[in-house]
Structure 1
Amino acid sequence: MQCTKTTSKLIAVCFLYISFVSCDKTTPKKPSYTSWSTYLGDEGRSHYSTLSQITKENVKDLQVVWSYEAPDWGQMQMNPIVVDTLLYGVTAALRAFAVHAATGEEIWRFGDSLQVWHSTSRGVSYWENGNDKRILFTRGSDLYALDALTGKPIPSFGIQGKIDLRSGLPEEDKDKFVISNTPGTIYKDLIVMPLRISEDIDAARGDIMAFNVITGAVEWVFHTIPYPTEEGYETWKDQNEFVGAANNWAGMAVDKELGIIYIPTGSAAPDFYGGMRKGSNLFSDCLLALDANTGERIWHFQFTHHDIWDRDPPAPPNLLLVERKDKKIPAVAQVTKQGYVYVFDRRTGEPLFDIAEKTVPSSTLKGEEAWPTQPFPIAPKPFARQSNELTADDISPFAENREALKELLIKADKRIYAPPNLSPVLLLPGYDGAAEWGGTAADPEEGIIYVNSNEMAWVMQMDTVIQNGKVTSLGEQVYLNNCVICHKVDRSGMAASGFPSLIDIKSRKTKEEVAVQIVTGKGMMIGFPQIPDREKKALIDYLFDENDKMEVESEKSNQYPLPYKHAGYNKFLDNKGLPGISPPWGTLHAINLNTGKYIWSIPLGDTPELGAEGKGTGTENYGGPIVTENGLLFIGATKDGYFRVFDKYTSKLLWEYKLPAAAFATPAMYEVNGKQYISIACGGEKLGTEKGNRVVTFALK
C-alpha cells in the first residue's frame, strides 16, 4: 500500500481521521436502509435492507404481485432503483423506463423505438434538488439526464439532455469505443462515471471523470495512467501509443461523511501481453480512495502488479464497520476475481488483515516482464478453489471424456499467477472470476459479507501473430486483428463461452445490421468505432464470403503490432459442455470480516442436465445477493433460473421460485404504502439460457 507523500495530503488525511474519532464520532451516522434509491441499495453498495415485513416464518408465502414486460428481449443485468412510488430500470435494448413500484404500470419509457442497442446496462442513477429530479443513464457513449417524472431529456444538461462520456478524455481517444454498463455514483452535484472500453491495443485511457449533474460539464479528472509529471508515471516503462484502459468499469462506492470515493480500477490494455508497458503499472488494478470533491488521490492499494491475466476487481467495494480491539473501524472491503477479500481502514488505507507479497512465476514470452511478486491477503482464505490445488482427482465425475481432461489438466501450468504462455495455463478461478460484477452483500453494522462465486476453470494460451504475408485480403487481416480472440481463426466461435460462430452470419443478419454491431458492440462484445470505413467494409465482405482477395502485403498499417495475441476464451469443459472439474461449480459464502473466518459456505444452484445427480452441484452465477437485518438472503443469479431465499445465519434454504427467465441481476427491496416488495430483472440469454424481458416483483399474500 502506498499513501500520498506530500505534507498537505498527510495533513488532510490526519484531519479526516481526527475529526472522525473525536467528539464521540467513532462510527459514521447510521443509514436507515429502508429505501433502494441508489444502485445496490446505498452509496456503500451494501445490498442491505432493514425492512422486516417478510420474515423467515412467512417467506414461504411470497407470490408474484406484478410483472413488467419490456418491449425487447435479452440480457437484463440491471438492479432497479425505487424513489417514492416509481421503480426505474433499463431494458435489454437500453430503453430507460419508470413503472409504478406497487403495480408495474408503465409511467414512461425513453428510447428510440426503431434503433436497438445491444449492450447491457446495470441500471440508472438518481439525483434531486427540490423539484429538480433527474435520472441519469447511458446508451452508447452518451450520458443522458432525464426528468424523473416524465422521462424527457433535460435540455440544459449538455446538448439537449446528453453529453459524450469521452468529453473529458484526451483528444486522441475521443473517437474510440467508450460506453458504461454500470450506473454512475452521485456525490453532491457530481456524477462519477464508470467506463467500459476496449481491452486491446485500440483502448482509450481509463481516466476517472466527474461530471456536473446539472450542466454536464467535466468537473475533475484523475489519470489512472499517469502523465509524465504525475506520481506513478515511473511505474510504466516503454509506454507507447498502444497502452490504454486502467478504467473503472465495475462501479464504485462513496462515503459522503468523509467525502471519499472508492474506485476499483481495471487492468491495463492490452490485457494479456505487457511488453510495451513494463513495470507495476499504477494505477491499474487498484482500489483508489479519491477526494470526491476534487479527484485528488488520498491513498491506493494495487491488487495485481503488471496485470497480464485480466485480474481486475469485478465489483464495487463494500463500506462497512469492522471490529478491532472492541472498536468499530470504518472499513472498505474489496472482493476479487481471484477469490480474495481485501479489507482496509477506509480513512487511511491501512490493511485490516496482513497482506503478504509472494514470489510468483516469471514469463517466458519474448519482451514480457511479469512482475516478480503479487499481494496475497493472509485472511480471509479464498472463497474459490485455486488452480494450484487441482489434481487428476478433481476431474468431474460426470465427464465421459475424463482421460482427455486429465491429460490437459496434467499438461497445463496450474501455478497461481502462471503468466500467459504459448502452452496452456489453467486459470481457476477463470477469466470471469470467482466474484462477479453483481457484487457482494454486507451487514454494514456487523462486519459480515455474503458473496456468490463461480468455480469455472478456463484454459489461457497465447499465440504468435499471423502477419500479412499469410493473409490474402484486407478483410481477413482486419478480422485477425480485432475478432479472432472471441470468434477463432476459422470463425467457428466458442459457443460454450458465449461467442457465436460467424461462419453463417450472412444467413442471420444483413450487412447493415453487422455494420451497426461492429460500431456499437453487443452484450459483452465491445464496439470498434475506430475501424475506418474502408476496413469495416472489407471486414463485412470477408464475413459474407465476398472478399476480393486483395493482397495486403503493402498494408503495413493493418499489421497487428505486437508479437503475441491472446488465443481466445476457452472454458475447461467436458464433451457435454459441463465444467471439466468436479463440483461445486457455483458457491455462496458468509464471511465474518471481524475475524476473517467463514460462517458458512454452500453450493449455489443445480444442474438440471444431470437429473437427480445435478441437485446441489452449484452452477455458474452472475448477479448478486441482498440481505435483510432480520436474517434473510435473497438471490437469483444462477444458470438454472431460480430465485432463492436463504437463512443468512445458517444457509438453510427457505424458499425458491422458478423465474420466467434466468435472472443474471441483483434484486431490489423497497416499500410502498407500508408494503414490502422485492423486484428482480429476468433477461436470461447469458450462458445459453432462454432470453427474457421481464421485471418480476414479489410480496406477501
Structure 2
Amino acid sequence: MKRILYLFTVLILLIAASWMPPVKDIYLSWPTFAGTNDGIRYSSGDQINKSNVSKLKVLWTYETGDKTNKTTIPTTPIMIDGVLYGVTPRLNLFALDAATGVEKWIFKPLDSTARGSIRGISYWQNKNGSDKRIFYSTGPFLYAVNAANGKSITSFGKGGFIDLRENLDVDFPNSSVAGNAAPTIYKNLLITGMRVSEGSDAVPGHIRAFDVITGERKWIFHTIPHPGEPGYETWEDKDAWKRVGGANNWAGMALDVKRGIVYVPTGSASPDFYGANRKGSNLYANSLLALDANTGKYIWHFQVVHHDLWDRDLPANPNLVRVRKDGKWVDAVAQITKHGYIFMFDRVTGKPIFPINEVPVPASDLPGEEAWPTQPIPTLPEPFARQKFTVDEISKRSPEINAQLRTEFSKYRGGQEFIPPSFQGGIIFPGFDGGGEWGGSAVDPQTQIMYISTTELPWWTQMVPNPALNKISGKTFKEVGKSVYAKYCVTCHGPELKGDGKAFPSLVGLNKKYNEQQLRQILDNGRNMMPSFRQIIEGEKAPLITYLLDLEDKEAMPVRPGAAPSPERDIAPLYTMNGYHRFYDKDGFPGITPPWGTLNAVNLNTGKLLWKVPLGEFEELKKQGFPNSGTEIYGGPVVTKGGIVFVAGTQDEKIRAFDKANGKLLWEGQLPAAGFATPAVYSINGKQYVVIAAGGGKLGMRSGGNYVAFGLDR
C-alpha cells in the first residue's frame, strides 16, 4: 500500500511539474550590456556548439539607415522577452523583434545633434511588468524611454531626462560630460558614472544613484574625496577636491544583487600625463571601488595605479566570479587592466585572491613631477599581454623595416614598465588602447576560465612645455585661437593639425569640409570618439574656430557673449603631451613582432594562462607570407555553454568562433563593416542568436550602420 501511495505521489508531482511555468534562465536572455549583473558575458544556450558552429549563417540584418562617414557603433544590444534594444550611429534608440530583426519603434533624443560613443543601455521594470523602461544617454542627457512604445517618459527628471552635469554638489553647466556606459540598476536605483574631459578642465567623476521613477538623486559617492572623507589624505593639496577632475567611471560596473554591493572601476585623475597639480597617490582614481548599492557608502577599494601618468584608466566592467582557492570556494571580483593584468579580490573583504606586490618603478625627471615610487603588480593571474617592448621585439617584416624602427625606438626611453613621461619621450606598452579595453572579458562560470581579447601595440609619447601658457595679450584673434588649440586639441591632433594617421584625423583644410556653424556643433556635441567641448567658454571658442577654419580675424564672432564659464577648475599644467602616437612602421603596421591582437584564456583558479591565439589578420600581409598577425581590437568576447567563444572587434571586418577549450578557430563570418563592439548572445524558443553591431568607423575603416544576427538555419 505504501509503495502504491508513493508512486501515486510521484505521479502527481510529475503532473504538477508539467503544468508549472518554465524557470527562466538568466543566461539565455541578454538583459544588460555584459549579459547579466555579474558582468561575465556568458550564455548558457548550447544549440550552437562545436559540432555545428561551422554552419552559422546570417538570420537577419537590421539597417539603421543613419550611418555617415566616420560614425561607429560600439554598442552591445540587450534582449529581454523577445525584444532587442540597441542604438544607431546617430544615437537613436530602437527596439526590434529579436527573432526577426523587424523594427518595433525608434526613439530620437531631444538633442538631435548629439554625437559620441554609447557602449550600452539599461532596462528596468516594476514588479508586475506594467512599467518597463530603457535608460540611455546622449551627451550629458540621460533619458528614460518607455520600452513598450519608445515614447519619452516625461515624468522622469526634467520632462524625460536628467542632466548629468547637475547634482554633483556643484553644477557644471558648460562642462564636457557624457553618459557613454550603461547605468547599473539595483532595485529602484539607477547607478551611473560618466565620461568627462581628461584635461585640466575636467569635472570630478562622482558616482551617483537616481530614482528610476522620478530621476531624483538618492546618493553620491565622491571619487575625489571631500574633507573628512576616507582617501582625502592621499592628496597633498588639501583643496584638490575643489579643482581636480576625473576619477570617473566610464567603463561600466558589476552588481552583486544578493549582497547589495556595486563594484565600480575608475579612471585617472586630471590632467593626464602631468601630475604636479595633483601630487599624492590620488584616491579614488584608477581604483576598484566596492560601494553599498543602497546608500553609496564606501566598503573597500584597491588602487591599481598610483598617481597615474599613463592614462591607465580601468577600462572595463569587473567580473563577479566564484573561484576555488586553497580548497574552498570564494566569491571574487576580477578586474582586467590596460596594462594586461588581472586583479582579483574577495568580493566582501577586498582581500586579494593572489598576492600583489608593490614594485619599485622609475622616478620622473620632469620638473615639478613626483611619480609614485612603486606600483602594484599581481603575482597571479599571469598577464594576458606582453609587458615589455625591447629591441628584440621590434618588427622583423624586412631588414629595412627593422632598421627604420630601431632608429625610431632609440629616440625614446623603453624596455620597462611605468616609464614616466619626459621631454625625451617614452614607449607606452601595452599602448593607450590596451591590453584590456572597454569590450571587457568573458568568464565561464562552470570552469572559472576567463577569456580576454587584447591589443599588443606600443605607442610613444613625449612632453613639451604647454603652448597654452604663452601670453596672448597683443595677439591677433587667430593667434589666440592657436593657443586655445594647444590647450584642448594638440594632444590628439598634433601641433601641426596633422593628426595621427587612421586614429586621429587631420584638421588641415578643415574649412573645405565645414562652415562655422557646423564646427560649432561638433565642438559642442562631440563626434564619435571625440568628446563634447561645450565647456570651452566663448572667449576661447571663437578664436579657436577662427584658427581651425583659417578665417579672417574676428570673423568667428561670439554667439553667446554673456555665457558664464564653468566654476574655475582649469589650472593649466606647465607641460603637456604632444599627441598620441602609435609605434608604426613606414607601411602603417605595428612596429612590434606579431601577434598584434590576441584572444587569451586564463584559469582564474590557478592564475595560469592556458592559451593565446592571434585574433584577426591583414589580407595584404597574408599574401606576403605573414598570416595570423592579429590586428588592433575594439570589442570583447562572449563564452557559451556550447563550448564556443564568439568575438569580433578586428580590422578585417570578421566575427569568429573559437573552441573555448583550446583556442582553435571553428568559424568566421564576414561583416558589412568592422564589428567594433561586443556581441550579444541569446536564445528564443530554443533557437540561439549571435548579434553584433557592425559600425566600423575607427582606424580609417569604412563606417557601417547595421546589426547582424547569426544562427543556425533550421
Q: Any stretches of 5+ residues in structure 1 without a counterpart?
A: 1-28, 551-556
User: Matches of 2:255 and 2:538 in 1, distance apart?
Assistant: 42
User: Matches of 1:181 and 1:398 in 2, distance apart?
Assistant: 42
Task: Identify the residue that residue 202 of structure 2 maps to in structure 1.
Answer: 203
Deviations 1:612-642 (A, max 9, x none): 3342111101111101112111011111111
- Measured after TM superposition, the shift of residue 510 of structure 1 is 1.9
- What does 1:18-33 correspond to in 2, within 5 Å? 32-33=26-27
SS in 2 for 1:57: coil
Letter in 2 for 1:84: D
Q: Does 1:564 align with 2:575?
A: yes
Task: Identify the residue that residue 379 of structure 1 maps to in structure 2.
Answer: 380
- Measured after TM superposition, the shift of residue 140 of structure 1 is 1.2
Task: Identify the residue that residue 507 of structure 2 maps to in structure 1.
Answer: 502
Whether the 8 Å CA contact 1:455–1:585 is kept in 2: the answer is: yes
Whether the 8 Å CA contact 1:399–1:575 is kept in 2: the answer is: no
Q: Does 1:156 align with 2:161?
A: no
- Measured after TM superposition, the shift of residue 395 of structure 1 is 2.7
- Measured after TM superposition, the shift of residue 226 of structure 1 is 0.4
Q: Does 1:669 align with 2:669?
A: no
Task: Identify the residue that residue 6 of structure 1 maps to in structure 2.
Answer: none
Whether the 8 Å CA contact 1:465–1:560 is kept in 2: the answer is: no
- Measured after TM superposition, the shift of residue 495 of structure 1 is 2.1
- Measured after TM superposition, the shift of residue 224 of structure 1 is 0.5
SS in 2 for 1:539: helix
- What does 1:506-545 correspond to in 2, within 5 Å? 506-545=511-550
Letter in 2 for 1:48: Y
Q: 1:280 to 1:681 in 2, by over 3 A?
A: same
Deviations 1:213-269 (A, max 9, x none): 111011110000000121111111125454111001100000000110000011000
- Measured after TM superposition, the shift of residue 672 of structure 1 is 2.0
Matched residue pairs, number? Answer: 665
User: Matches of 2:675 and 2:314 in 1, distance apart?
Assistant: 22
User: Matches of 1:114 and 1:371 in 2, distance apart?
Assistant: 43
Q: Does 1:72 align with 2:86?
A: no
- Measured after TM superposition, the shift of residue 171 of structure 1 is 2.3
- Measured after TM superposition, the shift of residue 469 of structure 1 is 4.5
Task: Identify the residue that residue 102 of structure 2 maps to in structure 1.
Answer: 105
Larger Rg, first or second structure (1 or 2) = 2
- Measured after TM superposition, the shift of residue 281 of structure 1 is 0.6
User: Matches of 1:311 and 1:396 in 2, distance apart?
Assistant: 29
SS in 1 for 2:165: helix
Task: Identify the residue that residue 188 of structure 2 maps to in structure 1.
Answer: 189
Q: Does 1:548 align with 2:553?
A: yes
Task: Identify the residue that residue 468 of structure 1 maps to in structure 2.
Answer: 470
- What does 1:18-417 correspond to in 2, within 5 Å? 32-73=26-67, 74-111=71-108, 115-129=112-126, 130=128, 131-238=130-237, 239-240=239-240, 242-387=243-388, 389-392=389-392, 394-398=394-398, 400-414=400-414, 415-417=416-418
SS in 2 for 1:515: helix
- Measured after TM superposition, the shift of residue 560 of structure 1 is 7.2
Q: Does 1:657 align with 2:669?
A: yes
Deviations 1:549-571 (A, max 9, x none): 89xxxxxx999732101111001
Whether the 8 Å CA contact 1:399–1:574 is kept in 2: the answer is: no
Letter in 2 for 1:669: V
Q: 1:92 to 1:425 in 2, by over 3 A?
A: same
- Measured after TM superposition, the shift of residue 609 of structure 1 is 2.4
- Measured after TM superposition, the shift of residue 60 of structure 1 is 1.3
Structure 1 vs Structure 2: percent identity of aligned residues? 48
User: Matches of 2:365 and 2:85 in 1, distance apart?
Assistant: 50
Deviations 1:467-493 (A, max 9, x none): 434865221221111111111222111
Whether the 8 Å CA contact 1:481–1:560 is kept in 2: the answer is: no
- Measured after TM superposition, the shift of residue 521 of structure 1 is 1.1
Whether the 8 Å CA contact 2:492–2:500 is kept in 1: the answer is: yes
- Measured after TM superposition, the shift of residue 399 of structure 1 is 7.4
- Measured after TM superposition, the shift of residue 117 of structure 1 is 2.7
User: Matches of 2:255 and 2:396 in 1, distance apart?
Assistant: 42
User: Matches of 2:489 and 2:511 in 1, distance apart?
Assistant: 16
Deviations 1:426-448 (A, max 9, x none): 11100111101000000124321
User: Matches of 2:400 and 2:588 in 1, distance apart?
Assistant: 11
- Measured after TM superposition, the shift of residue 174 of structure 1 is 3.6
SS in 2 for 1:686: coil
Q: 1:56 to 1:393 in 2, by over 3 A?
A: closer
Letter in 1 for 2:591: G
Whether the 8 Å CA contact 1:669–1:677 is kept in 2: the answer is: yes
Q: 1:72 to 1:295 in 2, by over 3 A?
A: same
- Measured after TM superposition, the shift of residue 141 of structure 1 is 0.5
- Measured after TM superposition, the shift of residue 172 of structure 1 is 4.8
Letter in 2 for 1:358: V
User: Matches of 2:112 and 2:606 in 1, distance apart?
Assistant: 52
SS in 1 for 2:166: helix
Whether the 8 Å CA contact 2:165–2:171 is kept in 1: the answer is: no
Q: 1:30 to 1:323 in 2, by over 3 A?
A: farther
Letter in 1 for 2:121: V
Deviations 1:304-350 (A, max 9, x none): 00111111211000011100122211110000001001111111111
Task: Identify the residue that residue 706 of structure 2 maps to in structure 1.
Answer: 694
User: Matches of 1:625 and 1:159 in 2, distance apart?
Assistant: 37
The counterpart of 2:646, out of the listed 621, 634, 638, is 634
Deviations 1:114-172 (A, max 9, x none): 93432011121000012100000101111100000101011211122111112221325
User: Matches of 1:667 and 1:133 in 2, distance apart?
Assistant: 24
Task: Identify the residue that residue 483 of structure 1 maps to in structure 2.
Answer: 489
SS in 1 for 2:544: helix
Q: 1:381 to 1:547 in 2, by over 3 A?
A: farther
Task: Identify the residue that residue 628 of structure 2 maps to in structure 1.
Answer: 616
Whether the 8 Å CA contact 1:396–1:583 is kept in 2: the answer is: no
User: Matches of 1:122 and 1:601 in 2, distance apart?
Assistant: 26
Q: Any stretches of 5+ residues in structure 2 without a counterpart?
A: 1-22, 556-567
Task: Identify the residue that residue 6 of structure 2 maps to in structure 1.
Answer: none
User: Matches of 1:408 and 1:334 in 2, distance apart?
Assistant: 34
SS in 2 for 1:328: strand
Whether the 8 Å CA contact 2:381–2:607 is kept in 1: the answer is: yes
Task: Identify the residue that residue 12 of structure 1 maps to in structure 2.
Answer: none
- Measured after TM superposition, the shift of residue 394 of structure 1 is 2.6
User: Matches of 1:180 and 1:541 in 2, distance apart?
Assistant: 30
Task: Identify the residue that residue 14 of structure 2 maps to in structure 1.
Answer: none
User: Matches of 1:40 and 1:673 in 2, distance apart?
Assistant: 22
User: Matches of 1:76 and 1:649 in 2, distance apart?
Assistant: 30
Give the TM-score of the pair, scaled to structure 1. Answer: 0.92
Whether the 8 Å CA contact 2:453–2:598 is kept in 1: the answer is: yes
- Measured after TM superposition, the shift of residue 32 of structure 1 is 4.2
Whether the 8 Å CA contact 1:237–1:276 is kept in 2: the answer is: no
Q: 1:398 to 1:661 in 2, by over 3 A?
A: farther
- Measured after TM superposition, the shift of residue 396 of structure 1 is 3.8
SS in 2 for 1:405: helix
Q: 1:113 to 1:253 in 2, by over 3 A?
A: closer
- Measured after TM superposition, the shift of residue 532 of structure 1 is 1.8
Calculate the aligned-residue CA RMSD, in Å. 1.9
User: Matches of 2:378 and 2:136 in 1, distance apart?
Assistant: 36
Letter in 1 for 2:547: Y
Whether the 8 Å CA contact 2:205–2:223 is kept in 1: the answer is: yes
User: Matches of 2:208 and 2:25 in 1, distance apart?
Assistant: 27
Letter in 1 for 2:678: T
Letter in 1 for 2:107: F
Whether the 8 Å CA contact 1:242–1:270 is kept in 2: the answer is: no
Whether the 8 Å CA contact 2:186–2:257 is kept in 1: the answer is: yes
User: Matches of 2:52 and 2:533 in 1, distance apart?
Assistant: 51
Deviates more, 1:676-685 or 1:463-472: 463-472
